[in-house]
Chain A
Amino acid sequence: MTFAVEFQDVSRHFGDIRAVDHVDLQIAEGTFFAMLGPSGSGKTTCLRLISGFDQPSSGHIRIFDTPSEGVPPNRRQVNTVFQDYALFPHMNVRDNVAYGLMVRGDGKAHRHQQAEEMLSLVKLDGFGDRKPAQLSGGQRQRVALARALVNRPRVLLLDEPLGALDLKLREQMQEELKSLQQRLGITFVFVTHDQGEALSMADSLAVFNEGRIVQVGPPQEIYEKPRTRFVADFVGSSNVFDPQITIRFANVARWSSLRPETVSLTPAPDATGVLARGHVRSTRYLGSSIRVTVDVGGADITAQHPASAPVPQPGAEVGLTWATDALHLMDQD
C-alpha cells in the first residue's frame, strides 16, 4: 500500500537534543491526520521534515513512495499553512493566493481565475483586492489556506493554524477545515497541542512526547485505550493509578487509567456495587457537569457528576462505581 507520507526510523537531533527520535509513521492517503503533543515534543519538527525545511539526521522519509532526500521544499507536492500565516504584506489577497501559480509561470488570467476559485472555496469571495493588513485574524487564516491549496498539493501541512484564533472562531474553522478536507480528498497533516481539536477533527492521530510517537490510532482508540500514562494524562483528563492502587481494583500490579465520565457517584457509600469509597475533597463546576474529586485513601478519583443532580458537599462520604472494563490497563511509558 502506498502511503501519503511514510517515516522510516527518522531521527532529527539538534546537538544533544533529540527533537525527533526514531520515529516510524505511516499516514494513509486522503486522511485527516493530527500530530498531537505538548510544545517541544517534536511534532512541528516532523512537519518541517515533511515540508523539506529540515532534513532528518538519520532515517528516511517517503512522500507517495518517493524518497524525499535532496528534494527541496519548492519541488515537493506538499504545501504548508504556517502558524503565523506568513502572508506577503506587500501583495493583495489575490496575488497572495496566486503566488504559487505566478512563480510557476502561469498566465495572469488563469492565475486570477484560480485565485478567485480558491477564495470562494474558503468563503472569501470579493476580498481579492484587500491587503492582508486589512483582514481579521480569521480571514488571514483563510487566505493562508487558499494560498496553500492553489498549487493543488497532495499533502497539506497545517502548523497549529488555529492557535491565534479565539474560541468561537476556532470551533467554526475546525468544522470548515474538516469539511474542506473531505471535499478535496487530499491528505491533511495537522499539528496541534490542543487534544480536543485533534480528537474532534482527525481520522487518525499520533501522540508525541519527547521526540517519540507514544501512540498512533483513531481518536476513539487513543481516548479509550491510552497505551501509556502520558497519553491518558495528555488526551482528555483521566484518573491515572500507579500499580499499587490498580491492584486494589483489578488484581494486577500495572498502571491504569479511569476516565472521569465512566465513574458515577452515589451518596450511599455502602450500596451494592460500590468499588471505592471516600470523602469528597473538592468540586469543580464545568457548566454541563461537575467534576467531583474524592479521596479514597492513597489516591484521588475524579468523577463526572451531572450538574442537575444534587452536589455532595466537601467532606461528605460517598461511594464510587464504574464498569469493570472502564478501568484501562496500560504501560508506564
Chain B
Amino acid sequence: MRSDRSGASLTLKCAAIGGLLFLHLPILLIFLYAFTTEERSYQFPPPGLTLQWFAVTWNRADVWTALSLSLKVATVSTAIALVMGTLCAAAMVRTRFFGREVISLLVILPIALPGIITGISLRSAFNLAEIPYSTFTIILGHATFCIVVVYNNAVARFRRLSGSMIEASLDLGANSFQTFRYVILPNIGTALLASGMLAFALSFDEVIVTTFTAGQQSTLPIWMLNELVRPRQRPVTNVVAMIVVLVTFVPILAAYYLTRGGEDTAGHGK
C-alpha cells in the first residue's frame, strides 16, 4: 500500500491529459479548418465558420474518383486477404511441415518491413514482369499487408479451436464444407470480421505502398497529399480528412469490441 497515491495522481493526470491533447488536438484542428471561411492559409483563429466546403467537396469529381478507387481497393484487397489469410492460418495451425516457421515469418514480414521497402520491391517486380500499373497493382500491394492482419487474428483464434472439434464434425458425418460452415466459421467469425475491418481501414489510408504501385490513379490519401501542395480550396482537404477519420474510426472501434467479446465463444477443449 502506497500512501502518496493521491499526491502522485495530480501529476499523472496532467501528464495523461497532456499526452491525449498532443495526440488528438491536431485532429480536432483538422476538423475545425473544415469549417473555415479562409481558403488559402490556416490562420488561427479562423476568420469565420461556414458549411460551404461540404457542398464544394460534394461537387468535386476528383474527390469522388479518388474515394471510389479507395473503397474499391480496400474492399477487394480485404476480400483477398480474408480468403488467403484464413487459409494460410489454417494450414499453419493444423499441420507440421519442414520450413513451417520460415513461411510463417515470410507471411508476417510485409507488415514488419518499412512500407517503402515493400513498395520499391513490388514496383521492381511489376516492372520485371511488365505488369502495367493499374487498380490491380494497387490491390496487390495492399493485399500484402492486409493478409498479415487477417493471418495474425485467424492464427490466434485457430489455436484456441480444439483440433478434435473438426474431426468430431467429420466423424459425425459432416463434409468439409459443412464442417467449415457449422463449426469453423462460427468459431473464427468474429476474428475474421474484426481483422477484415482492420485490413479495410489499413488499406483505406495507405500512402507509401500505393505511391509505388499506382500509375496515374490516385487513391484518397494520395489525392489529399497532392491537394496539400496546391493552394486551391484548401478546406476541401479537411472535409475529406474528416470523412476519412470517421469512416476508418468506426470499423476499428467495432473490430476492438468484436475481438474483445470473442473470448468466450471459441476454444475451451475440455
Chain A residues engaging chain B, CB cutoff 8 angstroms: 51, 53, 72-75, 78-80, 82-90, 99-100, 102-104, 132-133, 137, 140, 147-148, 151, 164
Contacts and interface: CB of A to CB of B under 8 A. Distances in A.
Given A73-B167, A103-B178, A140 B186 contact: no
B270 A89 contact: no
A86 B186 contact: no
A46 B93 CA distance: 24
Contacts of B171: 51, 53, 73-74, 78-80, 148
Given A74-B170, A133-B268, A86 B175 contact: no
Contacts of B165: 86-88
Contacts of A99: 169, 172, 174, 182
B209 to A, nearest CB: 37
A100 B178 CA distance: 11
Interface in B237-270: 264-270
Contact of B167 (A75, A82, A88, A151): A82
Given A89-B187, A90-B186, A103-B174, A80 B265 contact: no
Nearest to A76: B171
Contacts, number: 81
Contacts of A100: 172-173
A88 B174 CA distance: 13
B interface secondary structure, majority: helix
Nearest to B181: A103
Nearest to A48: B167
The 9 nearest A-B residue pairs measured at CB: A100-B172, A86-B168, A86-B164, A103-B174, A84-B269, A90-B186, A82-B164, A73-B170, A86-B165
A105 B167 CA distance: 19
B52 interface: no
Given A74-B170, A88-B165, 6 more contacts: A53-B171, A74-B172, A90-B266, A99-B174, A102-B182, A147-B172
Interface residues of B, number: 24
Nearest to A131: B264
A100 B172 CA distance: 5
A132 B182 CA distance: 16
B183 interface: yes
A92 to B, nearest CB: 13
B264 A84 contact: no
Nearest to B161: A89
B177 to A, nearest CB: 10
A100 B170 CA distance: 9
Contact of B173 (A86, A90, A137, A151): A151
B270 A133 contact: no
Given A74-B175, A89-B265, A137-B270, A84 B164 contact: yes
B157 to A, nearest CB: 12
B162 interface: yes
B235 to A, nearest CB: 49
Interface in B108-152: none
Given A82-B167, A90-B187, A140-B270, A151 B265 contact: no
B174 A80 contact: no
7 contacts: A75-B173, A80-B171, A86-B162, A89-B267, A99-B172, A103-B174, A148-B172
Contacts of A86: 162, 164-165, 167-168, 269
Given A72-B170, A82-B168, A89 B268 contact: yes
Given A73-B171, A100-B173, A164 B187 contact: no
A79 to B, nearest CB: 6
A103 B167 contact: no
